[in-house]
Amino acid sequence: MDASDKDTIKVPENILVKRNVKDSVFTHLFSDPRYLLELYRALYPGDTTTTVDDLKDVTIKTVLVNTIYNDLAFRAGDSIIVLVEAQSTWSNNIVLRELLYLLETLQRYFHEKKLDVNGSKLVMMPCVDLYVLYTGDRKDCPELLTLTERHLRRRCSLELSVNVLRDGKQGDIIYQYVGFTHVLDEQVKKYGGDRKRAIAETIRICRERGFLADYLRRQEVEVMGIVESNLDYEQTLSAWGEEKRDEGFAEGKEKGFAEGKEEGFAEGKEEGFAEGKEEGREEGREEGREEGREEGREEGREEGREKQAVETVKKMLSRGYDHGCISEMTGLSLQRVAALALDESIS
């Protein structure tokens, strides 16, 4: 056993942590007020007076089907609202998403403060800063995204700006988080399907390099569970996408074949009624036989897809995903997911 093996962190075999699919190291890290204050000071280094007690987490955490929820939002007193989205894959619609998150956050703020925007009294609101922390490998992403440039055909009364963060200053919490994500990507590529080894090596290396070392020491088991769960989720999403792509290809091919066949039949009819009639009879018989075979094959494929969906649901249930997210991912109804969850609990 070499030195690296001796230093490797042992990963518990059965890490079962109750969470939803939006949980990530990012959201978990900054749910701790200590690290949230570090993030605030990294974003606003000129403010040395704000304390942990001045910060309030106002992240939209309600997770239901078709309900919005964001990565991180917090308020510094009543002076500023900050929204931060963490992205490892570039999203062309991040400005629109931040707009929706902001509207929901402001509505909740006005309700909490009992501010009547329909009344005659002037209502004041906090300043707002929007950020996206991008940790992917795209090199040409701009430093500032605006609603006008990305989503509107012309300038109008509505405008919104989102600041793009790629890294922080040496040693600050943003720099450390970005370093952690890069190490994780490297170790996942290195160890492939051995996720536990990849996670353990990520934590070991990050501790050595000072990337979130205090956080990883305090929350080691929780971080292991979060990362493993997210890797499972990404694999499930990838498999589901491949299946849908294959289904779309098969449907398109079948439609193209039918249209081509219809066109050929019409041309044949014009060439000669008698010949076309006889060919049409034979074609109809063959089409009927083919449709019967295709119906049988489709039933088999449907049974296979149902079985795969059920297996996926069981796996996600075992890892603690909520019913709404499972339904959205697999396409099964909430009632079907609930029934499978009951079966699993009984068995």
Q: Using one digit for the tens of pLDDT, what is the confidence trace for 93-110?
A: 999 999 999 999 999 999
What pTM was estimated for this model as a whole? 0.64
Stretch 261-289: mean pLDDT: 68
Residue 210 sits at the vertex; the CA angle it makes with 204 and 211, to the nearest 5 degrees, is 80
**2: in domain:** no
Q: b/e per residue, 290-300, with b = 16+ CB within 10 A?
A: eeeeeeeeeee
Do both 122 and 201 map to the same domain? Answer: yes
Stretch 43-61: mean pLDDT: 95
Q: Using one digit for the tens of pLDDT, what is the confidence trace for 141-153?
A: 899 999 999 999 9
Residues 6+ apart with CB under 8 A from 21: 233, 321, 325, 329
HSE toward the beta carbon, residue 268, CA cutoff 13 A? 15
Do both 115 and 201 map to the same domain? Answer: yes
What pLDDT is recorded for position 273?
Answer: 66
Domain boundary (195, 213, 236) is at: 236
Do both 242 and 230 map to the same domain? Answer: no
What pLDDT is recorded for position 2?
Answer: 42
- Distance CA(170)–CA(192), nearest Å, equals 30
Among 4-8, 101-105, 199-203, 272-276, name the one with the lowest average pLDDT: 4-8
- Distance CA(135)–CA(292), nearest Å, equals 51
Domain boundary (214, 236, 258) is at: 236
- Residues 42, 168: contact at Cβ < 8 Å? yes
Do both 242 and 115 map to the same domain? Answer: no
- Residues 9, 198: contact at Cβ < 8 Å? no
Two tokens at 230? 């997210």
**10: in domain:** no
- Distance CA(333)–CA(325), nearest Å, equals 11
**12: in domain:** no
What pLDDT is recorded for position 17?
Answer: 34
Do both 201 and 342 map to the same domain? Answer: no
Stretch 168-172: mean pLDDT: 94
Percentage of residues of the chain with pLDDT beyond 70? 77
